[in-house]
Amino acid sequence: MRALDVEPAGGICELLSPATVVVPASGDPLAPRAARSPYLRLFHDRGRHELVIDVGPVDLPPHSMAEHSEELVYQLMHVPFDAWVHGYRAELSDAQGARVPRRVLHHIDTTRPAARDLFLPVAQRFVALGAESEAQNLPAWLAGVRLRRGEPLLVSTMLHNPTATPYSGVRVRLVLQYTETRPLREVAGFRVDVMFPTGPMEFDLPPGRTVRSWDGSPAVPARILGLSGHLHRYAEWMELRDLTARRVIWRARPRTDASGEVTSMPVSLPHLGLGRVVYPTHRYRITASYFNPTGHTIPEGGMAKVGGIFTPVAPLPEVAVGDPLYQADIRHLLGLRCDPGGMGGMMAHAAHSE
Ligand SMILES: [Cu+2]
């Protein structure tokens, strides 16, 4: 009798079998199977204007990954209504509702397969939070990311317990604060990574200095309203440069604690929030520098990305599902969930962040 309760295999991984991967919107016949996400539930607090993406519950033994980590890598949900998201935060609790240390949340990332990225013809990344990320909340009237009813959202969660204390029934709640009224500025997230265009974003750090960069241009003119970055231990600095205009848009060093661990990155609001326009006719370069003093290579120890919010000056093109890079990127993301050993890189990432 028990076996009847077990869901048949498939779900989100079935999307990888056709030649062209299409992540279905909620109206598509494929959607219900793909969206059968065992560790994801949606709650809606209409009074507080909050949509809650609830991931879990899972147990977190000491010094290990969460149980059911494979299922958490990518789960599919569909946005239940039209909304502009202007803020977000993450909450962690255990089975008794007690707080769980934030450091067990390696990351919770969201991707919008129905929307395009600013710099690449791939699925747009939405909210991403790590252990060090702080909650963000813009005034509802000012700016928000427009989510459309029924659009798919891929939710990637990694929980990892670096402490000696076991936690049971752990849940991560990603709380999205929204408004139903169009704000002054419609915004979206962007990112530029030294490992673009797709694939794993981690890279090895041999002993000594490693400098990496990537060049590209946005698809449309866009006003960058705010930006920050993500780096790992042993990072020295990173910068975003306009090669065409020959000027530095942003340069930052990570803030670290006494042990050298990155605790935060500076946030920049160009021109007091009025923003800085980037152009498709200009080339931009992200560069990051690391210095590894340990004398041995740190596998997948490096990472460097700039992320932030922008408002398009001209509308972003529709997503081109057939684009080879879009396909490669979706296959990479879902492969982390569905390919045997696909989690290897993510596990390594967690291990060295301990
Ligand atoms: Cu990282």
C-alpha 132 to ligand 1 mean position (Å)? 11
C-alpha 334 to ligand 1 mean position (Å)? 18
- CB count within 10 Å of CB 253 equals 14
Instruction: Measure the CA–CA gap between 13 and 71, rounded to whole angstroms.
Output: 11
Instruction: Measure the CA–CA gap between 162 and 219, rounded to whole angstroms.
Output: 41
C-alpha 67 to ligand 1 mean position (Å)? 21
C-alpha 142 to ligand 1 mean position (Å)? 30
- CB count within 10 Å of CB 343 equals 20
**Confidence at residue 345, expressed as pLDDT on a 0 to 100 scale:** 53
Where do you find CATH 2.60.120.230 in the chain? 188-312
Q: CB under 8 Å to 181, separation ≥6 — which residues?
A: 84, 140, 141
C-alpha 232 to ligand 1 mean position (Å)? 6
Alpha helices in the chain (DSSP H): 31-34, 69-73, 324-338, 344-352
C-alpha 353 to ligand 1 mean position (Å)? 8
Mean pLDDT across the stretch 325-351?
Answer: 78
C-alpha 203 to ligand 1 mean position (Å)? 10
How remote is the C-alpha of 307 from its chain's centroid? 10
**Confidence at residue 10, expressed as pLDDT on a 0 to 100 scale:** 66
Amino acid letter for position 122: V
C-alpha 58 to ligand 1 mean position (Å)? 23
C-alpha 172 to ligand 1 mean position (Å)? 19
Residue 301, pLDDT above cutoff 50 = yes
Instruction: Measure the CA–CA gap between 37 and 34, rounded to whole angstroms.
Output: 8
C-alpha 294 to ligand 1 mean position (Å)? 19
C-alpha 202 to ligand 1 mean position (Å)? 7
C-alpha 9 to ligand 1 mean position (Å)? 31
pLDDT tens digits, one per residue of 84-114? 999 999 999 999 999 999 989 989 999 999 9
Residue 78, pLDDT above cutoff 70 = yes
Q: Which residue has the tokens 């210095």?
A: 291
Assigned token pair, 320: 């081109």
CATH architecture group of domain 188-312: Sandwich (2.60)
**Confidence at residue 333, expressed as pLDDT on a 0 to 100 scale:** 94
pLDDT-wise least confident of 222-231, 330-339, 340-349: 340-349
Find out whether the peptide bond into 152 is cis, omega within 30 degrees of 0.
no
C-alpha 313 to ligand 1 mean position (Å)? 30
**Confidence at residue 6, expressed as pLDDT on a 0 to 100 scale:** 42
Contact status, residue 232 vs residue 262, Cβ threshold 8 Å: yes
70 φ/ψ angles, rounded to the nearest 5 degrees: -60, -40
Instruction: Measure the CA–CA gap between 338 and 40, rounded to whole angstroms.
Output: 17
Instruction: Measure the CA–CA gap between 23 and 14, rounded to whole angstroms.
Output: 10
Q: 2 falls in which pLDDT band (50, 70, 90)?
A: very low
